[in-house]
Structure formats: C-alpha cells, structure tokens
Structure 1
C-alpha cells in the first residue's frame, strides 16, 4: 500500500513538470516568433525609409558669381609702318647712281639716288640765255624811258612818245620776270634729280638700278624707293560688330607674332573707324605699338589679344551645370521645399570650364552642378553636405 501511494504522487509531479516544460517551450516559441516578426517589420520599415531616401537624388549646389576678369578677344592683325612713303621720280632721265640699299637707316634729306637729266640741263641753259636777253632789253628800255622823260621837261617831245617809251619799259620788265620765273622753274625741276629721304626712317624697298630709264610722274610710274618710319608701328584689326563698343581709344592689347613665340608686345588702341563694313560685319580698329628695338616688321601678321572689360551684370557658372536638350539651354536650380526649377539661360562668353551667363540667372539662385540624368522640373532633391559634395566630385 505504501509503495502505490508513493508512486502516484510522483506520476502527478511528472505530468505537472511536462505541462510546465511544454508551457515554457510554447512561451519561448511565441516570444521567438514575435521577436522575428517585430524585427522583420522594423527591417522592412527601415528598408522602405532607406529606399525612399535613396530615391531622392543628392545634388551639389553652387552659387553664380560675377566674373573677376573680362573675356579675351583673339583676332588677326596686320602690322604697318607708322609712316610709309613710296618715292617716285618727278623728272625723267636715267638713274645715275643710288646711295642706299634696303635696310639702310636714313635721315631726313639724305641722298638716296641721283637722276641724270641732260634734257632739263639744256632747257635750263636756254632759259638762262632768254633771261639774259630779257634783262638786257629791259635795261635798254629803262634807259630810253628815262631820257624821254627828261626831254619832256623841255617840251622837245610829245607826252604820247614818253608814254610809249615808259610802257615799253614796263613790258620789257615783265618779260624779264617771266624769263626769271622760267629759270626758277627749271632749277626747281632740276633739284628733283636728287632723290632724298623725306624723313628719318629705313629704306624698305629699292626698285631701280643704275642706268634704268626713269619716267616722271607721281604715282604712275614704278616706285624707286620706299622709306618707312618703323620706330612705331600701326596695327590694323577688323573687330566684329558685337565687340566694337568694348574697344575704344585708350584700350590696351597684347600682340603675339610667329617669329617670336612666347614673347608679348603691348599695344594701345588709338583710333576706330566708327563704321561697320557691310560685307564683313566688322569695324576697323587702329592700334600703336612701340618698335624702338626694330624687332617687329611692317607688313607682318600678328595675333591681337584684347582684354575686354568685365560685365557687372553677367554671372559665371561651371560648364557642367548646363543642360542642353529639346527644351533648349537651361540650368537646374533648387527652390523652395528643395524642389527643382529649370531656368532658360543664354551664354555671353564661353571660357571652357566656366561660362558667363548673359540672362536667365540671378545672383541668389542655387544652381545644381552636374544635374543627374532624368531629373525633372518639380522633383525633390537632397542638398549634399560638404562630405557628400566631395564624394560626388570624386564620382564625377
């Protein structure tokens, strides 16, 4: 009896333990399942939030800035002597000799060459003989007139005869003056047989030689010599119409010539045509450059760089901020609520890495640099911090 009584409580305790263990296991399983469900819900929520954040593009913002320096206008130019004088013969004959060759520095009045003029020499001899004859006739007429004037006081001659002698003397004096003028003319013409430099300069051309037949005539015959003043040079540039108002007398420019690579020559604008060529759409601008060392040569070609003034109203942005599509040239800006707003712009000057915007932007606009593909007007964007901007720059 005692053993049976003892066995029964033990069995009851075993059943209770099993139920308790089962209950604990069930509670643990429920807790594990609940924890898994909560974790999955949390992860799903985090994934959704992360996905939504990733769906909003991160952009780098820049502010338009006014230009610190103006654009550089590069145009071809032509160098010319400050003064250039082609010298022609004013008398005919044969070239007796020449004294200076090309490249020779000369002074004003220095002899360049001499023309042999036998025909003028003979004309001058004849004119001088005519002058001597006219002078002799005038002297005789003068003496006769004085004698008749003296006889008029004694009433031995008529007044009419005295007047005739006096008139004859006046006519002979006039003929003498005409003969003198003819001699002076021929002597002046003979002086042109000596070809001299009109000013200090350099002989830049000699198109004649000893024994060559010289024909008189300014500008119709060939040039005998060309004398050029090259201590300064004139530079002529055709400037496009749109840049004409920006280039005025007093503006500076830099010249670069092929024969001196890497060397710059400074010039200054001295005159403008103030008129537009209807064919080329340009205006002629004249500059002046110092050439005391004689390095620059008249007639040569040069690149002329104009530093144009800064436009205070123009703003500069990186070229990477531009969007060009079927809607035209635009930039993307970030407005209120971090919403994208496109603005149409026009380019004033293109500097390569940056561009100068002529219209469409304001100084306070937040411009998106390198806007993502597919971005639309009204899209929400996230403005990158400094670290994010650096990462975006590295990706770009």
Structure 2
C-alpha cells in the first residue's frame, strides 16, 4: 500500500515538473516572438511628372540708369522730380558751366589766330615756290616755308578738334533722358556744384517700367526642366491674389556654385503701369521633371546624427536605414528626390530605437 502511494506521488511530481517545463517553454517562445518588432509598411508613391513649382522672386525694372554730369558746373535749373514720366531726349536739368564757356571762347580765339597764321604761311609758301622756280632763291629756303605751312595746317586741325570737344562739353550742360521712363531719384538742387564723371553723386535715376524683369533661383533638381518661353504666373503679395502672366526670357545657363541654383529671368508686360519694381513676388512654374521623385508621409522620416534616413524592410525582413534627399515639403507628405526606389517597403511611424540590420515582422495588413 505504501509502495503504491509512493509511486502515485512520484508520478504527480513528474507531471508537475513537465507542466512547468512546458509553460516555461511557451513563455520563452512568446518572449522571443514579442521581441521582434511588428511594423507597418507602405510602398512609396511616385510624384506626378508635371509639377508646379513656386519660388520667391524679385521684381526689377526693364532697364534703369544713373545719370551723371559729363561736365563740371553749377545747377541752374531742374525740370522734373521723382515720379515724373519722361521721354527720350527730354530736358531734365540745366547746368551753368563758366569754366567750359571760357575754355570754349579761348579755344575759338586760338583757332582764329592759327587760321590767320595758316593763311599767311600759305601766301608765303606760294611766293617762295614761284621764286624757286625762277631760280632766285635756294630750294631749301622754299622747302622751309612749305614745311611751316604744313605745321600751321596741323595746328589749325588740332584747334578745330579742341573746339569741337569744348562744344560737346558745352552741350553736356543740358541733362537729358536717355530713354523713356520714370524718374525714381533726384539728387540735385539749384546752385549745387556738380563734378563731371561718376565720382560724385548721380543727378537722377531713371527706370523703364514698361516691362519688368522678375528674377528667381531655380533649385538644381529642377534646373533641367526650365526652358526659354516657358509660361510663368507671377503673384505679388502687395497686389492681392491677382496673377500676372509672364514667360521665361533667359537663364544664366549655369548653376551658381554657392547655392546650386539657376538664375532665371521672367519678363512681365507692364504697359498699364500697374506694377512697380522692387516688390516681392511669387513665381509659379509648371515643370515636367525628368527625375524619379516620390511622395511619402512625413511620419516615415528618421532624424539621426549621421543625417536624414528612412527605415526600409529588405527581402530578409531586416531593417535598412536608407539616406535620402528631400524636395518640397507639403505638410503631411514630403517629396523625396533621391534615395528611394519603386519597390522599397517603407516602415510607417518607425521607432527611434530601430537600428541597421534589426529583424522585424511585417504586419498582416500592409499599407
């Protein structure tokens, strides 16, 4: 009886040990299974081939010029002020130039003196030429008077050139507009001394606003899509939401090595003078990109010390932290310009603790 009871106790103890071992094994398997992160993945969506690109721009006049005096003098009168619209050749100001006036009078008097000397030398040379033919004077003497005549002729020609220069300087006392435009600066007053050349301050600044130039800097990834004649829409914040139509007129045809952007110019007609230079603009271009860009949710990005990464799941279901290059930010979604492929599986909402080569399990309902 005791032996049977002992056998039963031993059997019960063995059964309990086996049950505990089985439970421990199941716990270990569950722990290992739960240790592998379960992730949701998605496939990147290709960005549309035709994309609109909006860039900030600066508006400049079609042409502008700083007007300086070509002669030294005093301001006698000015006729236009800022905001005045002028025509090419219109008188803007008059200068009083006493020094140039006196130099011109002196030059004209010197020319008259030299012309008289030339006439006398001509008469003398002709007379001695006759005497040489008659054998009454030596040939050398005749040659001397002919040489004197040639010297006097050259002196008169130099006087004429000097007088012509002074007459031109005299005309420069009248400041005129080089082209049709609007006066944007006036920097002179009656009686002010004006020095010739660009060393002093300019007298006026004139701008042609019949057309406007809008300058933008296109990023490198879109530079190849920009071409001459491409339509553009220009919106100016100071003019509300009304858009202005323009077109790409020219590009620098080379990237700026510092910013990696392409300087591009858009021409906008301004015949109605509705726009003014210097305002801030937004330029919208419709680009057909040749690159393979993708759109991904913003919550797929990982910010690591080594740079921006996206967590991918490879064929062996291990994590690969892929470096990428971002394009435009659309808020909830981001454009990726390089680093992704159409077959990639991207982890959605990746944990910051993910590391390269970590095994993961993909959720049954992939996105």
**Do the two structures share a fold, i.e. TM-score over 0.5?**
yes
Q: SS state of the match for residue 166, structure 2?
A: helix
| 5+ residue gaps, structure 1 | 1-54, 390-396
TM-score by length of 1: 0.68
Contact 1:61–1:366 (CA<8 Å) still a contact in 2?
yes
Alignment partner of 1:80: what SS?
Answer: strand
CA–CA distance in structure 2, aligned partners of residues 143 and 323 of structure 1: 101
Which runs of 5 or more residues in structure 2 are unaligned?
1-33
**Does 2:274 match 1:295?**
yes
The one of 210, 213, 222 aligned to 2:201:
222
| 1:162 equivalent in alignment to 2:156 | no
Scaled by the length of structure 2, the TM-score of the pair is 0.72
Q: For the Cα contact (< 8 Å) 1:202–1:230, is it kept in 2? A: yes
Alignment of 1:275-314 (within 5 A): 275-278=255-258, 281-283=259-261, 285-290=263-268, 291-314=270-293
* Alignment match, 2:181: 201
Q: Distance in 1 between matches of 2:362 and 2:186?
A: 79
Moved more, 163-172 or 259-268: 259-268
- Name the CA shift for 1:312/1:145 in 2 (closer, same or farther; >3 Å): closer
Q: Is 1:330 the equivalent of 2:311?
A: yes
1:126–1:360: structure 2 CA closer, same or farther, 3 Å change rule?
closer
Task: Check 1:343–1:261 CA distance in 2 against 1; reply closer, same or farther (3 A cut).
Answer: farther
State the match for 2:361 in structure 1.
379
Q: CA RMSD in A?
A: 3.8
1:101 aligns to what? 81
Secondary structure in 2 aligned to 1:112?
strand
More helix by share: 1
| CA deviation vs aligned residue, 1:180-201 (integer Å, no higher than 9, x gap) | 1221111011111111111222
Per the alignment, residue 235 of structure 2 pairs with 256
Measured at CA, do residues 176 and 354 of structure 1 come closer, stay the same or move farther in structure 2, by a change above 3 Å?
Answer: same
User: Equivalent of 1:121, from 101, 109, 118?
Assistant: 101
Within 5 Å, give how 1:1-396 maps onto structure 2: 64-69=44-49, 73-216=53-196, 218-239=197-218, 242-243=220-221, 245-246=223-224, 248-250=226-228, 251-265=230-244, 266-268=246-248, 270-272=250-252, 274-278=254-258, 281-283=259-261, 285-290=263-268, 291-319=270-298, 322=300, 324=302, 329-330=310-311, 344-345=321-322, 346=324, 348-349=326-327, 350-358=329-337, 362-363=341-342, 379=361, 381-383=363-365
Query: Offset at 1:329?
Result: 2.4
Q: Label 1:366 to 1:176 Cα distance change in 2 as closer, same or farther (>3 A).
A: closer
Shift of 1:305: 4.0
Cα offset, 1:151, TM superposition: 2.2
CA distance in 1, matches of 2:85, 2:249: 28
Alpha-carbon distance in 2 for matches of 1:264, 1:219: 40
SS in 2 for 1:274: strand
Cα distance in 2 for residues equivalent to 1:362 and 1:69: 16
Structure holding more strand per residue: 2
The structure with the largest alpha-carbon Rg is: 1
